[in-house]
Amino acid sequence: MRAVALVAPGRVEIVDDWPEPEPGPGDVVVQIRGVGLCGSDLSVFDGSRPVPGLPWVFGHEGGGDIVAVGTAVDDREIGQRVVIEPNFADGTCAACLSGHTSACADRQVLAITRTGILAERVAVPADYTWPVSRDWPDAALACFEPLVVAHTAVRRANVPVGADCLVIGAGSQGQLVCQSLLAAGAQPYVMEPHPGRLELALKLGARPAGDHDGDTYPLVFETAGVPAVWEPAYNAVARTGKLVVIGFNDKPAQFTTMDLVQRQVTIVGQLIYDHPVDFQATLTAVTAGQLAPQQTVQATFPVSETVAALAAVREIPGKSWIEFSSWRDRP
């Protein structure tokens, strides 16, 4: 089958002979319809994040239609449209047993430890596919996983109705956080230097940070992940407030414990979601019309232009995603 193969750092090729996925007894095979791209895809693409070997297929945000079902699967069927939850927990370690599958010591990750989804088809555990309505646009399939990340961050932060929240960064993650905050009745204020991104956030209902009455907030969501924003992010937290760190980097971040204690600040590192409760909760909110993953999507590329899509990740105001209709329609 066809796949987008990373053949060397920074170089992908569309290949025709990628091996067809073999579903295990508990797997389903999904024919891909849409794949979103994010920063971690870029770090695989440019070689900064190691993968088991080359050529490699990456891409981990997306979904499509079930075209085959493993022998032990009795709750999924051919033809269902699904989004894929791309982190597979072992379900048996102490972290999993206490409900924190995101901290699973043996977590398998699509595109990092297992072949990703920039391919015609992929085999994934049935439990990690989530049936959705066939009315979903493909863009929503491509953007649902990062929405789960955002919605999980917001849910765990227990944001009160009417609370003013600072969102640092209005890349796609920042925009999804804004969307989730708005759905929960909170008011996001956005700090973002890129005018196009800021504008997109304002369109969703966010306000510019400059309009805020006061320069601290009970809740701050840091999504930019660049070293320069650590200090403004930390300082913007009001007394007894919370800083939710979503974007990250490997440079030292500093503060003093005196300040942390005196201001009673809480800092939370927010990685991903726990299985299955967070995909479930986000799906509930989408189904109810409170969230719309595709609202944030801005640039659509056919699969043949994956390289251009990758280049766009850092340039365009919103999300780049790849749609697979050309591969589906051509035999």
Q: What is the Cα–Cα distance from 127 to 24, expressed in whole angstroms?
A: 13
Nearer to a second copy, 36 or 188 (CB): 188
Query: Is 41 among the residues that bind a second copy (CB under 8 A)?
Result: no
240 binds a second copy (CB under 8 A): yes
Task: Give the amino acid at 47.
Answer: G
Minimum distance, C-beta of residue 168 to a second copy, in the bound complex (Å)? 12
Nearer to a second copy, 12 or 183 (CB): 183
Closer to a second copy at the Cβ: 279 or 321? 279
**Best CA proximity match to 204, nearest among 298, 331, 310:** 298
Compute the distance between CA of residue 21 and CA of residue 4 in angstroms, rounded to an integer: 14
Q: Name the nearest CA neighbour of 314 among 60, 41, 118.
A: 41
> Pattern 140-179, binding to a second copy, x per CB under 8 A?
-----------x---x----xxxxx---------------
List the one residue from 45, 58, 230, 301 that touches a second copy (CB under 8 A). Answer: 230
Rounded-to-integer distance, Cα 116 and Cα 108, Å: 11
Exposed (0-12), middle (13-18) or buried (19+): which is 323, by Cβ within 10 Å? buried
| Options 284, 308, 315, 326; binder of a second copy; rule CB under 8 A | 284
Q: Pick from 22, 77, 92, 314 the residue near a second copy by CB under 8 A.
A: 92
Q: Cβ distance 241 to 266 under 8 Å?
A: yes
Closest separation in Å from C-beta 296 to a second copy:
17
- Which of these, 38, 5, 102, lies nearest to 321 by C-alpha position? 38
Amino acid at 265: V
**Interacting residues with a second copy between 62 and 81 (CB under 8 A):** 72, 75
Region of 34-42, 193-201, 222-230, 303-311 interacting with a second copy (CB under 8 A): 222-230
Q: Figure out which of the listed residues 8, 196, 215, 280 binds a second copy, where binding follows CB under 8 A.
A: 280
Q: Which of 38, 82, 291, 316 binds a second copy (CB under 8 A)?
A: 291
- Sign of the Cα torsion 7, 11, 12, 16 reads negative
